[in-house]
Structure 1
């Protein structure tokens, strides 16, 4: 399976999972995150992400660092080492940082 299709599949599954976990207390936040994922599906294609002509090395490192932060946060959530409230705040911070980076590229 090519990387572009895998990216789309991952983003679709993330949005689907987040939608299932929506409650009356987090509807707005989950909606914002889902919107961000759906808008980025096309922006995270291999040609956009790995093309050194379209972004510099520092930006790649920053995006990879955010991806790693998400991975570690998922591990902490899975092992109940972080509360839901803390996880939500961390996700918001990571998403904000990513939006700033993506906006700077456009």
Structure 2
């Protein structure tokens, strides 16, 4: 692991310490867990935005997030994002998956 130094507001530091105590882990482990969860949220938002703008295929977005195609489609539904594919686009995506 690489060491990283960050400055936290006192309230943030208190939240990390409280989380660490609740999880019965040290503050460094708590901070890593919080960062991991935050990165997943940020990457998912980025992927949803790129699918919405038709910059990325659903396959690419799902892979980027570490999700399956089906789970990403479910995420699109939960986020009320219309299925962004025409029949032709869907055929292209199926072809993209087969080529990997």
- Structure showing greater radius of gyration is 2
TM-score normalised by structure 2 residue count: 0.38
- The structure showing larger relative contact order (alpha-carbon pairs under 8 Å, at least 6 residues apart) is 1
The structure with more helix, counted as a fraction of residues: 1
